[in-house]
Structure 1
Amino acid sequence: MTDLAAAFDADGLTCFVGAGGKKTTMYALANATERAVVTATVRIPIFDPHVAHVEVTEDPISTLITTDEFPLGLVPEQEFEDRYRGYDPDTVTDLARSHDGPVLVKADGARMRDFKAPGVNEPRIPETADTVVPIASAHAVGEPLDEEMVHRPERVADVAGVDVGDEITPEVVGRTLASPDGGLRGVPAGATAVPLVNKVDDDEDLEVAREIADTILEHADRSVVPRVVLARMGEAEIREIRE
């Protein structure tokens, strides 16, 4: 397992939630590991350029058994011109049980924002997930808590105990990622959660990300969250790991 995969425990069924780099992180891990499968339980933008092959199929296990093209994308349908539909979580469970490599799953949406808290029906994480990676961007800090930067700002406000329109602080991001109603929502019993603070592009971002990570580690259930990864996943670069 590569250092990148080891940082996230991404050798089994790994689900990505939150905002600010889910897809980028999935594609980086897919290309850093052997025999990786990329899929989703929600809609996912067309991602053919990021993997060796995408197969559109209602029978992903049969495709998995017969293919030697990895990283492999598996989806059930091209629902729109720019989007694939995702599988039911139970189908992803069966897929992961049939595969001897990592299965990387987009498990919620964020509408291209840098920060979010989950909605009522989110996330769609299979009960057999080994690892969940809740994500937020360091670039959200210092911005107002509104729809320009945040998906569902009212949910973030509820989880973090602030008001819509307030400035986003490291504390707000950290508390949201650490909350069972935020980044840890839907993490199955026995699974590990490895939060990611992404878009750590310079030293100023790194200081912000450290504050976020320390807040997460202070407020999260440490039996679930062993560490926080600070990274620039567009470059597949880990900047620091906080434990």
Structure 2
Amino acid sequence: MTLVEALHAEGNTTCVVGAGGKKSTLYALADRLERAIVTATVRIPPFEDHVSEVRVAERPLEAMNSNPAWPIGLVRAQERSDRYRGYEPAVIDELAAEIDDDVSVVVKADGARTRWFKAPADDEPQLPATADVVVPIASAKIVGESLDDEHVHRPERVERVTGLERGEEISTTDVATVLSSDRGGFCDVPDGATVIPVINMVDDSALEDTAREIAGEVHERRDVSQVVLTCLLEEEPVVAIV
């Protein structure tokens, strides 16, 4: 199964949240979709290398009026040299309602500062109401690491969801708990949206065993159709569907 198929991304609005490969997943999808818009509801680093062009506009529909080159990046403003500002979720709703049915929208909907694991803050994620698919991500490599600022974005939030204490070792159960929690991967998911958890950085057989264990525990906690295991360094990133 391709990444586009595994994440049901074709013609949908797909919002990626969590940590451990969020932006890489966006860009991998954009590279494989026939007509894709890459955007964000939060800040996003410059990503010109991953799309045909980036257009900066207060209203994304206005930026789409003149023959876009696919995939296209749409952002609200360049806040600093190292980051763009995304749109309010309602603006993404307007965009999704007006574009052609065969155009796919992929959205970065929270931040993680390059960490491998996180649980959302009170104002996260910023999900549009029209999201078709929500993809919460965690890295398989976080298992066995300590709950600390080096590897985890907002470790205090993970503490609240899992019961872990700072410095304790993160287990497969802890990762599955966050991915499947209403205070984690399922936080503020719009009614009708499909949640497809992703365990990324499955770079070898040992990490695949770890990821499969996490996936099994996610299935024990939530009714999800599948958990996708990925290695985004590969030409075809899908390692397995669980």
TM range (shorter): over 0.9
Listed as ranges, the matches of 1:24-103 within 5 Å are 24-100=24-100, 101-103=103-105
Amino acid paired to 1:231? T
Amino acid paired to 2:45? P
Amino acid paired to 1:3? T
Which residue in 2 is equivalent to 1:4? 3
Corresponding residue SS for 2:64: helix
In structure 2, C-alpha distance between the alignment counterparts of 1:45 and 1:210, rounded to whole Å: 31
Amino acid paired to 1:193? V
In structure 2, C-alpha distance between the alignment counterparts of 1:77 and 1:234, rounded to whole Å: 30
Offset of 1:68 from its aligned partner?
3.3
In structure 2, C-alpha distance between the alignment counterparts of 1:67 and 1:22, rounded to whole Å: 28
In structure 2, C-alpha distance between the alignment counterparts of 1:97 and 1:34, rounded to whole Å: 19
Offset of 1:59 from its aligned partner?
2.2
Which residue in 2 is equivalent to 1:198? 200
Which residue in 2 is equivalent to 1:18? 18
Note if contact 1:30-1:71 (Cα within 8 Å) is conserved in structure 2. Answer: yes
Corresponding residue SS for 2:225: coil
In structure 2, C-alpha distance between the alignment counterparts of 1:161 and 1:184, rounded to whole Å: 18
Q: Aligned to 1:210, which of 198, 209, 212?
A: 212
Identity %: 51
Which residue in 1 is equivalent to 2:230? 231
In structure 1, C-alpha distance between the alignment counterparts of 2:34 and 2:94, rounded to whole Å: 20
In structure 2, C-alpha distance between the alignment counterparts of 1:85 and 1:199, rounded to whole Å: 27
Amino acid paired to 2:148? D
Offset of 1:182 from its aligned partner?
0.6
Offset of 1:154 from its aligned partner?
1.1
Offset of 1:67 from its aligned partner?
2.0
| Aligned-CA RMSD value | 1.0
What's the CA shift string for 1:48-87, capped at 9, x where partnerless? Answer: 0100000011121122232230000000100011100000
Amino acid paired to 1:133? V
Q: How many equivalent pairs are there?
A: 238
Which residue in 1 is equivalent to 2:112? 110
2:178 matches 1:179: no
What's the CA shift string for 1:9-62, capped at 9, x where partnerless? Answer: 112111000000010000000010111000000000000010000001112112
Amino acid paired to 2:159? A
Amino acid paired to 1:118? P
Note if contact 2:56-2:63 (Cα within 8 Å) is conserved in structure 1. Answer: no
Superposition TM-score, scaled by structure 1 size: 0.96
Q: Give 5+ residue unaligned stretches, structure 1.
A: none
Which residue in 2 is equivalent to 1:148? 150
In structure 2, C-alpha distance between the alignment counterparts of 1:189 and 1:80, rounded to whole Å: 35
